[in-house]
Structure 1
Amino acid sequence: MFAESKKTKMEPTNALNNRIAENTKIKGDITSEADIRIDGEVEGTIMTSGKIVIGKTGVVTGKIQCENADIEGTFNGEVKVAQILVLKSSAVIEGDVVVGKLAVEPGASFNASCAMKGAGVKSLKDEQTGRPEKSA
């Protein structure tokens, strides 16, 4: 009468996370559909249709393309964020930045060229499928 249902619940993709722990070094390209948190070091290209978080101890050199990003650590290279890039007070950024929206906390070091494209930044999903950008 009160038996538990045997149905399993599927987790949505955005509930899954990838983590590169402190003291871990990766050289190469990373592609994912899920969110990525980096507390170690990455040299290469990182692409996700989710969110990228670079923690305080995280260091990324190369290219990033994602939907949203929070940076507390160090980034040097080219970053394309379709929606919002948040730079925390401990962030150090150098390179080229293309974003939909940018939020910078006092104390962040931002030494980069920046282009704000609003709704014009292609999302990773649109770029992979070759679909044209959405227009208002």
Structure 2
Amino acid sequence: MMKNTESKVIEEKDIDTILADDIDFSGTMKFNKSLMIKGKFDGKIDAEGHLILGPNSVVKAEIKAGVVTNYGKIVGNVEVIKKLELFKGAELNGDIKAPDLIIESGCIFNGNCSMGGQNLKQGHPAAREYAPDKAMKK
């Protein structure tokens, strides 16, 4: 029997830096620990730490981070070292590169996803067998 999953709750007291919902900024961000954005950001994020986007956040950026946990809206490509989490109400419009991906019911994702692995190697039999153009013909 499967249980219904509940959204992961992140306690703000456990986050190193929080940018409040009234902050609207742009530029390049780099950080090694955890950072939560509650407002708006436009630019580039190049980090090794954990990026958390609050439910009212709007981020237009190319994102590279260790872990991304999204409850808000992302417009741009996301590449993570460890894991990408999209929780109920989240939206991501862009491509994903992630070895581990969680997409909870109630999210919007528009883009392509690459998770690595052997099947992505050009010419791998499984990649050829299940290519989108062949899948449509079956």
Q: TM-score, normalised by structure 1?
A: 0.72
Which runs of no fewer than 5 residues in structure 1 stay unpaired?
1-14, 119-136
- Name the counterpart of 1:105: 104
**Cα distance, 1:36 vs structure 2:** 1.0
Alignment-derived partner of residue 24 in structure 1 = 23
Question: Is the Cα contact below 8 Å between 1:79 and 1:97 reproduced in 2?
Answer: yes
Q: State percent identity of aligned pairs.
A: 27
Name stretches of at least 5 consecutive residues in structure 2 with no aligned partner. 1-13, 118-138
Letter in 2 for 1:106: S
1:47-105: per-residue Cα shift (whole Å, max 9, x none)?
A: 22110000101110011111111100000001101111110011011011110111111
Q: Which residue of 1 aligns with 2:56?
A: 57
- Give the number of the structure whose residues are more often strand, by fraction: 1
* Residues 96-135 of structure 1: pairs in structure 2 closer than 5 A: 96-117=95-116
Q: Give me the whole-angstrom Cα distance separating, in 2, the residues matched to 1:16 and 1:105.
A: 22
Partner of 2:83: 84
RMSD of equivalent CA atoms: 1.3
The TM-score normalised by the length of structure 2 is 0.71
Residues 35, 48 of structure 1: 8 Å contact kept: no
**Which portions of structure 1, spanning 4 or more consecutive aligned residues, are displaced by more than 3 angstroms?**
none
Question: Number of aligned pairs?
Answer: 104
The aligned amino acid for 1:59 is V
